[in-house]
């Protein structure tokens, strides 16, 4: 049995959550995948998977084998890329994670050029506003916004955006336009319940700093909800330029209190701790930087 092939089969089964899903990823029959896993368990002398009516889950030994097998596969890919030269096309699978709205507006529409440059590369995009566990989800690189909660993470800052207080002109016509931060107390705030959101909005102008405790009847846990509520004339929100880029450009959304500064929004590329950053992940991060710069 080819050791690397067996590792790739096991990793595919774990990440797909089933033998059939792993077989589809590898474009082989399910019996071949089941046989490969059985042979692997026999050779190692340990059970790697627990099978139940709810699906598959790795044993403790299986989880350890998965993490090391995935690392070995990545390093084998890196060795091949190094041998081919830096100009070679990337191949294999790249699994990335990003916030829903940011990826929908700024990353996915530009992916065609990246994929065209690397025809042997497959990209899996996990869209989630939450900070998912990179190791558990098999993520190669995640795009995260705001301050990083874990300073031990391997991360690279790839961009920064201004933030604004935004609303539609229809809302401001009905509720009035805030002239100073304190005016926001009388407004309906669309509250984003993720990192970087909340009801405490801090402003700065020259040497003055002001914190305002806003309130609102609409609380959402995803940026798509913030966008939908603002565009439905339901209130004001704090948002990065990335979140409302098309609407700010068209005038569908208006930024107010522009003589006051809000803390900017940083964008980070975050990699699984303890793993070698692959050439595929590095190339994707460079693509994101170029996309934002353009």
Can you give the pLDDT at residue 239?
A: 93
Can you give the pLDDT at residue 148?
A: 79
- pLDDT bracket for residue 247 (50, 70, 90): very high
Domain covering 1-83 assigned CATH 2.60.40.2130 in the classification? no
What's the rounded mean pLDDT across residues 267-273?
89
> Residue 86: pLDDT above 80?
no
Fold of 89-157+265-294: D-Maltodextrin-Binding Protein; domain 2 (3.40.190)
Strands 49-52 and 55-58: antiparallel
DSSP, collapsed to helix, strand or coil, labels residue 125 as: strand
pLDDT higher at 75 or 49: 49
User: Which CATH number does 163-263 carry?
Assistant: 3.40.190.10
> Residue 170: pLDDT above 60?
yes
Beta bridge partners of 266: 160
> Residue 272: pLDDT above 60?
yes
Q: Burial of 148 by CB count in 10 Å (0-12 exposed, 13-18 middle, 19+ buried)?
A: middle
- pLDDT bracket for residue 279 (50, 70, 90): confident
**CATH code 3.40.190.10 region(s) in the chain:** 89-157+265-294, 163-263
Can you give the pLDDT at residue 137?
A: 80
- pLDDT bracket for residue 249 (50, 70, 90): very high
**CATH code 1.10.10.10 region(s) in the chain:** 1-83
Can you give the pLDDT at residue 1?
A: 54
What's the rounded mean pLDDT across residues 65-85?
76
Can you give the pLDDT at residue 92?
A: 83
Percent of the chain with pLDDT over 70: 94
Indicate the pTM of the whole model: 0.71
From CA 196, how far away is CA 155, in angstroms rounded? 18
From CA 255, how far away is CA 239, in angstroms rounded? 10
| Nearest C-alpha neighbor of 121 from the set 290, 282, 247, 291 | 282
pLDDT higher at 294 or 42: 42
C-beta contacts of 59-64 below 8 A and 24+ residues apart: 62/10, 62/14
From CA 112, how far away is CA 242, in angstroms rounded? 20
> Residue 112: pLDDT above 90?
yes
Can you give the pLDDT at residue 212?
A: 95
């Amino acid at each position: 049995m080819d050791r690397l092939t067996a590792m790739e089969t096991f990793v595919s089964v774990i990440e797909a959550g089933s033998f059939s899903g792993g077989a589809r990823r590898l474009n082989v029959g399910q019996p071949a995948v089941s046989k490969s896993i059985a042979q692997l368990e026999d050779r190692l002398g340990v059970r790697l998977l627990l099978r139940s009516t709810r699906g598959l889950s790795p044993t403790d030994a299986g989880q350890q084998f998965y993490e090391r097998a995935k690392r070995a596969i990545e390093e084998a890919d890196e060795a091949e890329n190094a041998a081919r030269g830096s100009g070679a096309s990337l191949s294999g699978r790249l699994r990335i994670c990003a916030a829903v709205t940011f990826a929908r507006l700024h990353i996915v529409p530009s992916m065609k050029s990246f994929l065209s440059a690397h025809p042997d590369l497959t990209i899996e995009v996990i869209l989630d506003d939450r900070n998912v566990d990179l190791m558990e989800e098999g993520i190669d690189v995640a795009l995260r916004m705001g301050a990083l909660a874990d300073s031990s993470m391997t991360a690279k800052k790839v961009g920064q955006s201004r933030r604004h207080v935004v609303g539609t002109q229809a809302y401001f016509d009905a509720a009035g336009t805030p002239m100073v931060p304190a005016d926001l107390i009388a407004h309906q705030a669309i509250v984003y319940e993720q990192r970087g959101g909340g009801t405490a909005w801090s402003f700065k102008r020259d040497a003055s700093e002001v914190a305002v405790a806003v309130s609102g009847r609409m609380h959402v846990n995803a940026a798509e909800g913030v966008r939908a509520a603002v565009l439905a004339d339901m209130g004001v929100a704090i948002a990065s330029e990335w979140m409302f880029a098309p609407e700010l450009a068209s005038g569908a959304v208006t930024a107010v209190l522009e003589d006051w500064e809000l803390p900017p929004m940083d964008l980070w590329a975050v990699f699984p701790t303890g793993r070698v950053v692959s050439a595929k992940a590095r190339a994707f991060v460079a693509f994101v930087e170029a996309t934002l710069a353009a």
